[in-house]
């Protein structure tokens, strides 16, 4: 049997292949110094262990390719931030039951399904420094296994049996899809406004953060005001998170994260640093942006990327993107004011810093 724990993936399931045996390191090691993620993991580590068990149980299928492919991307995948937010939000609201673990697994399945679909749309060959699922198994298998994970998430919602939870998570799934389509429409379009960009990231990233946090209050049967506060916390945290991601695409820090610098530029994705540089540029510089982003006419891609970064640096748009992230981070922190001080509140406030300090 395969078992996912806070420390990684362990266990073999017959026919599931080696992909499910890859170790996932969720705990960020900082030479003995606890950071915000360590604090959160310490707070809800026992609950996260149950979440990982549920993920492994529900990844199973008699069709061997499904757990192979799903296990590959889940094993490659990050810090479990979204399910951690569900667990911590439930703890903040005083919940002492077990429903939050199943719903946190549901959140992770939704997130993982969107990653599979995103890599196909973006034609990405790498995911966190490893071969993407579509690079290994092809686009068709990636899309279909993504659909399988979406289906599993809805099974978990239905098993929870609370219509309000089903409404929140199904709404989030729809808005995420709309956000991805909106990004597809705005790609390669230098007429994209900052407002349009923000609407895209609210949908494709921040909506799941908001839903993950809000259901923590719902399972605890807390007042509507607390639901709204956690929704606001998650939404503004998610926007800050994506702003930092969009900054990082043009930062040398990308290489530390196992990603390629300039992927968004090469794909013609219109993000805030680009929008601001285009608005502030000369006519010749705007022509450069239209050539690269709209026409995708890059005879010397590395040279064009270097010029793009130079323009964004000259006009301060990368630094400004991080400052916008800090602004949304402060709004997230303020949303927690309604709650009493305690370990859960402190951990969630710390995650704001964790998300933004990735830019360092």
Span 301-328, pLDDT tens digits: 999 999 999 999 999 999 999 999 999 9
pLDDT of residue 30: 38
pLDDT of residue 130: 80
pLDDT of residue 17: 36
Question: How far apart are alpha carbons 244 and 318 in whole angstroms?
Answer: 9
pLDDT of residue 23: 28
116 in Cβ contact with 84 (< 8 Å): no
3-state secondary structure of 9: strand
pLDDT of residue 69: 93
CATH number for the segment(s) 162-360: 1.10.600.10
CATH number for the segment(s) 1-161: 1.10.600.10
Interior/surface letters 35-61, b for 16+ CB within 10 angstroms, e for the rest: bbbbbbbebbbebbebbbbbbbebbbb
Question: How far apart are alpha carbons 107 and 84 in whole angstroms?
Answer: 10
Spans of the chain below 70 pLDDT:
1-34, 76-78, 129, 252-259
Pairing of strands 8-11, 130-131: unpaired
pLDDT of residue 26: 35
> Could you state, in order of their start, the residue ranges of all structural domains in the chain?
1-161, 162-360
**Long-range contacts: 288-295, Cβ < 8 Å, 24+?**
289/190, 290/190, 292/265, 292/268, 293/188, 293/190, 293/265, 293/268, 294/188, 294/189, 294/190, 294/268
Q: What is the pLDDT of residues 242-299, one digit of tens each?
A: 999 999 999 866 555 556 788 899 989 999 999 999 999 999 999 999 999 999 999 8
pLDDT of residue 253: 63
190 in Cβ contact with 278 (< 8 Å): yes
With 0.85 as the threshold, say if the pTM is over it.
Answer: yes
Domains 1-161 and 162-360 share a fold: yes
């Amino acid at each position: 049997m395969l078992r996912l724990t806070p420390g990684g993936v362990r266990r073999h399931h017959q026919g599931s292949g080696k992909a499910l045996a890859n170790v996932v390191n969720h705990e960020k090691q900082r030479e003995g110094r606890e950071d915000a993620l360590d604090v959160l993991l310490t707070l809800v580590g026992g609950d996260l262990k149950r979440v990982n068990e549920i993920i492994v149980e529900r990844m199973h299928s008699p069709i061997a390719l499904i757990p192979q492919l799903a296990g590959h991307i889940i094993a490659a995948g990050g810090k479990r931030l979204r399910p951690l937010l569900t667990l911590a939000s439930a703890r903040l609201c005083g919940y002492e039951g077990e429903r939050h673990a199943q719903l946190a697994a549901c959140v992770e399945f939704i997130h993982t399904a969107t990653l599979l679909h995103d890599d196909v749309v973006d034609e990405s060959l790498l995911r966190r420094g490893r071969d993407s699922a579509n690079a290994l198994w092809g686009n068709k298998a990636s899309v279909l296994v993504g659909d399988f994970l979406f289906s599993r998430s809805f099974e978990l919602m239905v098993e929870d049996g609370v219509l309000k939870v089903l409404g929140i998570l199904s709404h989030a799934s729809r808005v995420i899809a709309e956000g991805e389509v909106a990004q597809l429409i705005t790609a390669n379009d230098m007429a994209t406004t900052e407002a349009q960009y923000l609407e895209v990231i609210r949908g494709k990233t921040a909506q799941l953060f908001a839903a993950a946090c809000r259901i923590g209050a719902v399972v605890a049967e807390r007042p509507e005001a607390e639901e709204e506060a956690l929704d606001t916390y998650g939404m503004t945290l998610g926007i800050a998170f994506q702003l930092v991601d969009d900054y990082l695409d043009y930062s040398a820090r990308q290489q530390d994260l196992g990603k390629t610098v300039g992927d968004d530029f090469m794909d013609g994705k219109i993000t805030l640093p680009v929008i601001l540089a285009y608005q502030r540029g000369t006519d010749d510089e705007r022509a450069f942006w239209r050539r690269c982003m709209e026409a995708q006419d890059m005879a010397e891609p590395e040279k064009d990327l270097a010029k793009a970064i130079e323009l964004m640096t000259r006009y301060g748009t990368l630094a400004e993107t991080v400052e916008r992230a800090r602004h949304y981070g402060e709004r997230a922190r303020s949303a927690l004011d309604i709650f009493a001080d305690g370990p859960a509140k402190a951990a969630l406030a710390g995650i704001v810093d964790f998300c933004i300090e990735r830019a360092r």
